[in-house]
Amino acid sequence: MKTVCEVLGVSRSNLAVKSKRQAEGVDRRKTPALDDMPLVAELQGLVADLPMYGYRRAWALLRRNRDAQGQPRVNAKRAYRVMRTHGLLLERRPRHPESTRRHDGKVAVEQSNARWCSGGFEFRCDDGAPLRVIFALDCCDREAMSWAATTGGYTGDMVRDVMLQAVENRFGGALKADNEIDG
């Protein structure tokens, strides 16, 4: 047998097992196929009234019902497989559509007044007092359209005033003309 195994390039233990196997060649290691139809009916009854339940909730309800009736529990993986096979799973949420506007790391724009940004910074003076500055910039030419500085903290009103001042600096005449037309 050793020479035959060496010639064939197989292990002796494998050949010994195969020589002792029955003629029909049934592999008894595999689990027998289970009839899923009673489980399908039970799951359909559970999720019929609760269509937004996923397999985990359905499996939990199934487990509770079977425990109450003294029946054996069903494995979660089996519940998932059966629900997937018979179309009982929830639809997957669609992914968010990819944005057509990709941010490539550049904030600059081609023309003025297309995009603005605002921000603030702080630095210490010689005497240690903080100086806080808030500003509004045009992203095209990086012009500071308005700003405010304070040694105290800045408030929401200060930020709104800076933005209003920027709008008035850029569109002052146009805004007055629009208000006269509307009024």
* DSSP string covering 162-179: HHHHHHHHHHHHHHHHHH
According to DSSP, residue 145 is labeled: E
Q: What is the pLDDT along the chain (183 residues), one digit of tens a residue?
A: 788 888 888 888 887 887 777 666 666 666 667 788 999 999 888 888 777 888 899 999 999 999 999 999 999 999 999 999 988 888 887 888 777 777 677 767 788 888 888 889 998 988 888 999 999 988 888 888 899 999 888 888 999 999 899 988 888 766 665 556 555
pTM of the model: 0.40
Could you give the angle at which helices 55-69 and 76-85 cross, rounded to 10 degrees?
120
Give the residue extent of every domain in the chain: 35-93, 116-174
Phi, psi of 175, deg, nearest 5: -65, -40
